[in-house]
Structures are given as C-alpha cells and as structure tokens.
Amino acid sequence: MHDLAFIFAGFFVGLVVGLTGVGGGSLMTPILIFFFDIKPYLAVGTDLLFAAFTKMGGSVKLARARVVDWRVVLHLSAGSIPAALITLFVLHQVGAASIQVQSLMTSTLGAALLLTAAATLYKALRGKAAPASVLRGQERLAATPRHWSLPLLFGAVIGTLVTLTSVGAGAVGVTVLMLLYPMLPLPRIIAADIAYAVPLTLVAGLGHASLGSVDWPLLGKLLAGSLPGIWVGSHLMSRIPERVIRSLLSVLLAYAGAKLIAL
C-alpha cells in the first residue's frame, strides 16, 4: 500500500512540475516529512536526486531547442556548486543525521518554503512582465547580469539552501534570474533555471548519497510516478490557468513552511 502511495506522490509532484515548471523540491520534501514520516535528512537527500533526474529530461529538451543561455548557467553554477560542496563537507563533519542538523534542516526548510511561496506568488502576479524576445544582436547584452558578482553571490546562497533543504532551485531561482537579468525573456529564464538546477541537485544529491542520506528504493518509486506526471502536466498546461495554479501552490507552500518552522 505504501508503494502505491509513494508512486502517487511522485505523480502528483510531477503533475505540478509539468503544469508550472516549479514545485518539485518545494512539494516533495514536505510531503515525505509530513505524510510519510521520513526523517528530514533522508527526505532532503532523496529529493535532491529526484529533482536531478526529473529535470534532466527537460534540460536536454531545452538544450536541443537552443533556448538555454549557457553563460547564465555558468555564472550561477560558479557560485552554487562550490557552495554546495562546502555545505556537504560541513554536513560530513557534523553528521547529517545528528539532532542539531535535523533541527537546522527543518527550520531552514520552513524558511525556504516561505521564500518559495513568495517567489511563486510574485511570478503568478508579475510573471508576464519579462520581455517576450530579445532583439537581434542584443543576445549577449541580455545574458549579462547587472553586476558580474551578483550571480556568484546569489548562486552561493541558492547552492547552500538547496544542499540543506533541496528547495530553492525552482521558483526562487527563477525570481533571482528575473532580477539579475531583466532583459532576458521569461522562457529563457526558465530554461536557464532548469539547466543549472541539474548539475547543482546532482552534485548535492550524490554528496548526500555518500553520507547515507538517500533512500534508493524510495527514489525509484517516486520517479515511477513523477515521469508520467510531468508528461500529463505538460500536456494540460495550456488548458489550466497558470496564474491560478501558482497562486494555490504559493498558499500550500506557505502553510507547509509555517508548519515546519513551528516544529
């Protein structure tokens, strides 16, 4: 019975990801903690690899369509991946399963979910403000940040957040990109966010696996549900108002975040 419940949970999260492009880590980790009573460190580690595998297919598809700005991906990765490795080193020294780390993970996860809820609501209300396309000859300018150091700084913050909580590479990442690259069209912002999340979640997930923080059988069940869910969600995307889904998702994430902080 539990096996079917895990597959259904994977399908539900995959459906939301397919509909909105965000929600993977933000939804899966609290679902595993609240509904299945999975320890926070196991939920985070398993969800990181879940995110890496679910976003990998989308990243390949976007790369083939040539909508990924690899300079943007490189800028963010230069900050996020070293930060993830440093965070993993600290977790290795302290012990991912220790009571102090578990407490830090739940409180940080709660804060990250509240941040993601705010970012998701911002996207629902202001998501159309980004330009629809880039004028010919201005592609390089559009992929240039407000200041060269900002992607490194924000990348490091997101890398630390993702490694500790598995949350932050979706809605938070998209919002950060919208602020750092105001001339970049929204489809390219989303493509860059998905592309840079793959190496980040893969590095962080494999690091957690080395700490024993990944439940491999559970990961298989979640993926068995999520992959069909993403396919269904992507086909329903044009039929359901995205603004309504994102608004409901932000309320759900805010509730989960507040509940985790109160633990």
Question: What's the pLDDT band for 187 if we cut at 50, 70, 90?
Answer: confident
Q: What are 38-95's pLDDT values in tens digits?
A: 988 899 999 999 988 888 877 887 888 888 889 899 999 999 999 999 999 999 998 8
What was the pLDDT predicted at 34? 85
**Residue 104 pLDDT > 50:** yes
Which is nearest to 23 in space by CA: 147, 137, 194? 194
Q: Would you state the torsion angle of the CA atoms of residues 115, 121, 122, 124, taken in this order, to the nearest 10 degrees?
A: 150
The two three-digit tokens of residue 91, written as one number? 């977790």
**Beta carbons within 8 Å of 41's beta carbon, 6+ residues apart:** 96, 97, 101, 102, 105, 208, 211, 213
The predicted-structure confidence for 207-217, as pLDDT tens digits, reads as follows 999 999 999 99
Q: pLDDT value at position 135?
A: 47
> CA 42, CA 208: separation in Å to the nearest integer?
9
Other residues' Cβ atoms within 10 Å of the Cβ of residue 176: 22
Dump pLDDT digits (tens) for 149-180: 889 999 999 999 899 888 877 777 877 888 88
